[in-house]
Structure 1
Amino acid sequence: MAASELIQEDDKNCIEVISTDPPSPPQSTKVPNHTHQISRTPHSEDVLDGDGKGRRRKITEVLKENQLINSLCNKIQQRCNYDKITKESDDPLPKEWWKTGVSFIYAFFALVFNAVIIVIIHERVPDKSVIPPLPDKFFDYIDRVPWAFKATEACGLTLCGLWLVQWLALKHRAIVARRCFFMIATLYLYRCITMYITTLPVPGKHLECAPKLYDNVTEKMWRIIRMVSGGGLNVTGSHILCGDYLYSGHTIMLRLSYLFIKEYCPPRFWWYRWFCFFLSIFGLICILLGHEHYSIDVVVAYFVVNWTFRWYYAMLESHVHNQEPNKYLTRTWWNRIFKFLEGNVKATVPVEFGWPVPIPTTSCRRRYSIVDRYDN
């Protein structure tokens, strides 16, 4: 008589029953019914009774052992499932990449809508020969520097590149990305409102605006695609329209990149934070030196970016510490969006770094087996 139980560990250290060999009951032998009785001696009856009792005792022991092993396997499997569910539900910093994807769609929509608004307001920008630039105190004292705006875009692209590399190295990049996408979208939607409400004349006579298209819808669509694909930058040749002044989109790029770099930068890299700070400030000054925006455009953008960023993280601080949020913080129109993005985040995101792509490593997976054998 033999019974075996093989238990092996799977990839997640959970034990699984591979095969079960239940003991087969003893086959009963039928004695032919003869008319003649078989004479048995008392000694032979004792031997048969003793052998039958021993066999039944061994079968009972095997059944008990099998029940014990099956019960152990079930308990271990239940524990593995419980640990897996608990780990997924109790993670204070869940990735939730699908929410990051929703935030990205929101940002992409805001950027496309921003391009649509610029194409619309370009048609109603007054001719600079008819309405001259508005008086600006900075322009009164500082003459235009031709290369300044190119330096602004160089600073902005450098900061965006540094932030992209830093974000890729972060461990919790999914959470950080959806925060970044949300702020980009929100700030550009605010910009669409201010640009559409008040159309300012060009800030300098050196600016060359593309001709107006009026009712040519097809060409307007191509301009929208060109702006979105080129990011609205001079270096890409997509900044050919006028009217997108209040407030400055270049200031959003410079300031928001620096704020995220500072927020998720280790304290020991103080020199890196100061470098990015001076780079952002230099870029803002170059916007004014190039006379590409009015001073009010840069000032308004600076404060809108700063306060939106601080407002969001003030709400986040109350949320992760389970504090009652300030009633003024919860009155924002995007409070429900905030709860959707940060609802399952239960802790402050630590500044931890890791490889953006898992490095393949060879690992030996140990497999355990328990084999119980019973001999006849």
Structure 2
Amino acid sequence: MAASELIRGTDDVRPHVEVNVTTSTLPLTPHPPRVANGNPAGHTHSPPTAGDAHDGKNKHERSKLSSLLQNQLIHSLSSGLRRQCDYVKISVPEERADRLPTEWWKTAVAFLYALFNLVFTTVVITIVHERVPDKSVSPPLPDKFFDYVDRVPWAFNVTEVNGLILVGLWFVQWICLKHKSIIGRRCFFLIGTLYMYRCVTMYITTLPVPGKHMVCAPKLYNDSTGKIWRILRLISGGGLSLTSSHMMCGDFLYSGHTVMLTLSYLFIKEYSPPWMWWYRWFCWFLSASGVICILIGHEHYSIDVVIGYIATTRTFWWYHTMANTHTLRDAPNNYLSNTWWNVIFNFLERNVQTKVPVVFSSPVPLPSSCRQRYRMVEGGRDE
């Protein structure tokens, strides 16, 4: 604001003032300036000063700088989040794979171990058969169960049918398990070990036939060729009476049928989810009824069944206790490590660092839509 004239008259003359007003977008001054006579110059606007213009320029620059910093910060945060998400997706599967390695070659070794002991069992049966005393000379030993329960001829057929069903169910279940390599070598090792025990007990103590109804094949004595053919016939028929491949006697202590019935059920129960309780009870019924029918058919002494059950359950429980409780493996007071098969256990389970979860997977590749639907169903059941 500029004044063209100042006061030129006496006190009673009001001065004439010319004012040039310039509008601006800057904020108005809080108090209007006064003219020379001390009166306010009315409601007029103040012109922008050099300092105000400089402050406005600084504010504009600061606004641009803050916007730039904000954009850079958002970009860096989003990039960091993307990198973090990629890291999580990669690391978790690798960690799980390291804790439960497949190691199929170890499963193959365990399978060969089981196969060898099964074949060796047939050889021992053939040898023991030549030592079984004739039933006319050595009658059956007294058995308390036989005193109270008469023989039922078809009962042993029920035992073998139940055994075939249980083995078939376990095989299908094993094929559908995700960690089948680890579970498979556990199963093969236990089968091989239990039948190796059976070879020892059969060879050490040869019991007479448990019933006079049993028909034993004639003895071959020094006929090595005939013995080899008997071994091959026994292997081809699976050692079952249903296939007419088992006509030899002497393999009583302990019962191989009890081993397979009990072991199949234990594996089915251990590696099936809790929601399949009906399946577990059905398999238990097959196993229990099959074991009872062995005695009802008078095909084994009661001691054969009892020892077979004890040997199978204890070996299974000892092995899985060590496998599922990792603190026991290096514990100084772990008496389970005194078992002779602890070295084999360490070989098979060394790299298994956690308990094997019960997870099913398709044995054949499925389309992507089916895999997604299968995951949804499994996730709903787990919840």
Identity %: 65
Q: Any residues of structure 2 matched to 1:1-376 within 5 Å, and which?
A: 87=94, 91-319=98-326, 324=331, 326-359=333-366
* CA displacement at 1:320 relative to structure 2: 7.0
TM-score by length of 2: 0.70
TM-score by length of 1: 0.72
Aligned length: 282
Aligned residue for 2:267, secondary structure, equals: helix
Residues 321 and 347 in structure 1, CA contact (< 8 A), matched pair in contact too: no
Question: Equivalents in 2 of 1:244, 1:265: separation in Å?
Answer: 33
| CA RMSD, Structure 1 to Structure 2 (Å) | 2.2
1:205-247: per-residue Cα shift (whole Å, max 9, x none)? Answer: 0100000000000110111111122111011111110000000
CA distance 1:325–1:145, shift in 2 (3 Å)? farther
Q: Match for 2:227: what amino acid?
A: K
* CA displacement at 1:88 relative to structure 2: 8.3
Question: Equivalents in 2 of 1:115, 1:272: separation in Å?
Answer: 33
Question: Equivalents in 1 of 2:137, 2:253: separation in Å?
Answer: 21
1:243-299: per-residue Cα shift (whole Å, max 9, x none)? Answer: 000000000010000000000011001111111111111001000000000000000
Quote the residue 1:6 is aligned against.
Answer: none
Quote the residue 1:37 is aligned against.
Answer: none
Aligned residue for 2:193, secondary structure, equals: helix
Where do 5+ consecutive residues of structure 1 fail to align?
1-78, 363-376
Q: Match for 1:199: what amino acid?
A: T
Question: Equivalents in 2 of 1:284, 1:128: separation in Å?
Answer: 25
Aligned residue for 2:306, secondary structure, equals: helix
CA distance 1:213–1:322, shift in 2 (3 Å)? closer
Q: Match for 1:277: what amino acid?
A: W
1:27-77: per-residue Cα shift (whole Å, max 9, x none)? Answer: xxxxxxxxxxxxxxxxxxxxxxxxxxxxxxxxxxxxxxxxxxxxxxxxxxx
Q: Match for 1:196: what amino acid?
A: Y
Residues 217 and 248 in structure 2, CA contact (< 8 A), matched pair in contact too: yes
Question: Equivalents in 1 of 2:97, 2:332: separation in Å?
Answer: 23
Quote the residue 1:49 is aligned against.
Answer: none
Question: Equivalents in 1 of 2:317, 2:368: separation in Å?
Answer: 42
Question: Equivalents in 1 of 2:103, 2:230: separation in Å?
Answer: 35
Aligned residue for 2:134, secondary structure, equals: coil
Question: Equivalents in 1 of 2:332, 2:232: separation in Å?
Answer: 42
Question: Equivalents in 2 of 1:321, 1:136: separation in Å?
Answer: 41
Aligned residue for 1:203, secondary structure, equals: coil
Question: Equivalents in 2 of 1:241, 1:213: separation in Å?
Answer: 11
Quote the residue 1:30 is aligned against.
Answer: none
Aligned residue for 2:242, secondary structure, equals: coil
Question: Equivalents in 1 of 2:125, 2:95: separation in Å?
Answer: 45
Residues 203 and 291 in structure 1, CA contact (< 8 A), matched pair in contact too: yes
Which one scores higher on RCO, CA 8 angstroms, separation ≥ 6?
A: 1
Question: Equivalents in 2 of 1:266, 1:89: separation in Å?
Answer: 20
Question: Equivalents in 2 of 1:148, 1:294: separation in Å?
Answer: 15
Quote the residue 2:42 is aligned against.
Answer: none
* CA displacement at 1:318 relative to structure 2: 2.6
Greater gyration radius = 2
